[in-house]
Amino acid sequence: MSEILILNGPNLNRLGNREPGIYGSASYDDLVQFVQDAGEAVGRTVEVRQTNDEGEMIDWLHEAADLETPVVLNPGAWGHYSYALRDACAMLTAPLVEVHISNIHAREAFRHHSVISPVARGVIAGLGVEGYADAIQAIVRFTA
């Protein structure tokens, strides 16, 4: 399989404008280009999606489960409390890597716990947008 699905949750479309001291100055368009370049560098096609709608995200995860597509997921705030999202992630048979741009463990206490992490193959947090490249490389290793 050559495709990797990159799914981004709420507020990630506001990158570059939203708390640049925490999330950096890269825009969402910059993130998309970076992720596509990172996929190309390892010979994989990536599809990048973003939504502020939890139901849409769950539908995308169902699609990935049905197609056995590996997923890199930045769940945003949903990762801290959405059991519906966690249950959709648990349906995946291909590898799932959870990504957070900021170090969730160095922030507010409610961000320290992820309901997604227990069903993810790996978790990357605090490396900025570069963490997506690490997640793609991990997916490549997991699917080799």
From the list 23, 81, 113, 132, the catalytic residue is: 23
136 is in an annotated binding site: no
6 is in an annotated binding site: no
103 is in an annotated binding site: no
Sort 132 into a burial class: Cβ within 10 Å, 0-12 / 13-18 / 19+: buried
Q: Which residue has the tokens 């390892």?
A: 42
62 is in an annotated binding site: no
For residue 39, the Cα-to-chain-centroid distance in whole angstroms is 14
52 is in an annotated binding site: no
Distance in angstroms (rounded) separating the CA atoms of residues 57 and 108: 24
23 counts as catalytic: yes
86 near 119, Cβ under 8 Å? yes
62 counts as catalytic: no
114 is in an annotated binding site: no
From the list 28, 83, 100, 113, the catalytic residue is: 100
Binding site per annotation, positions: 74, 80, 87, 101-102, 111
The residues that are catalytic are 23, 100
Binding site per annotation, positions for substrate: 74, 80, 87, 101-102, 111
